Amino acid sequence: MSEAKIKELRDDVDELNELLKQAKRKKVQDVLTLEIRKLETEMVKLKESENTTPMEVTHTPATSANSSQSKSKRYQIKLNGYGWDQSDKYIKVFVTLKNVQTLSKDQVYCKLTERSMELHVDNLDNKDYLLVINKLLEPINIEESHWKQKTDMVVVFLAKSNPNVKWSHMTEIEKKFEDQRNSRFKTDDMGKKDPQDSIMSLMKNMYETGDDEMKRMISKAWYEGQHKKPTDTLDL
């Protein structure tokens, strides 16, 4: 029964990801992203009974001239989608990758700092996968963090430096974006103003007041938007 449910959830996630690729409005993208993360979290909870062994955070993969040469011939795929949940002690990050459980421990590893995480999955079907999350909302305890391989999934347990503190968002950037958006929408007269104009005005304001990371993300989003909707204009 659980296997059928997991398959159904995975199919739902795949379809939502296809819809996310087609979505153009930020609010629609946010709703789809949140729903994807909820479903991925539900999949993980169904798999919690599986017996897996956590990896040591201090572990680094073995390297050699031959392995480096082999790695250089593989494609690296940067991951953006992930689910997350939290307990009093941990932030749990869920990353779905088919057949990841077949890899050795040397091929699945994390690089952690107090405010960032990188998940590396090497040579899965001749591809390397990388998930980078920078500017975590709160600091983490590197020594107490770890990760596990499960069927078709990696779960990263980021230990909170301040246990029992509830995170409202995964990163500072996500929180800043939502706070500024909510603040701007409260002051705008949405009945007299085109919602698209409000979003564009918000992005401009965030670009002018944001840090380098915020400006980089907005510039990328705007560049992609220009190619999809060449008639839009925004002077950054």
| Domain spans in the chain, listed from the N-terminal domain onward | 1-49, 53-167, 172-228
Q: What is the pLDDT of residue 228?
A: 57
- CA 22 to CA 66: how far, in whole Å? 41
pLDDT tens across the length of the chain (236 residues): 567 777 787 788 888 888 878 888 877 777 777 777 777 777 776 766 554 444 434 344 444 444 444 445 788 999 988 999 999 999 999 999 999 999 999 999 999 999 999 999 999 999 999 999 999 999 999 999 999 999 999 999 999 999 999 999 999 988 888 888 777 666 555 555 555 666 666 677 666 666 666 777 777 776 666 665 444 444 44
- CA 72 to CA 74: how far, in whole Å? 6
CATH number of 53-167: 2.60.40.790
Contact 118, 142 (CB under 8 A): no
From 176, 167, 181, select the one nearest 93 (Cα to Cα).
167
Q: What is the pLDDT of residue 8?
A: 80
Strands in the chain per DSSP E: 75-79, 83-86, 90-96, 108-113, 116-124, 127-133, 140-150, 153-160
Which pair of structure tokens corresponds to residue 4?
A: 């059928």
Which pair of structure tokens corresponds to residue 220?
A: 């990328």
Cα of first residue to Cα of last residue in the chain, in angstroms, is 53
Q: What is the pLDDT of residue 105?
A: 93
Q: What is the pLDDT of residue 41?
A: 74
This prediction has a pTM of: 0.55
Q: What is the pLDDT of residue 132?
A: 94
C-alpha angle with apex 217: 120 to 41, nearest 5 degrees? Answer: 50
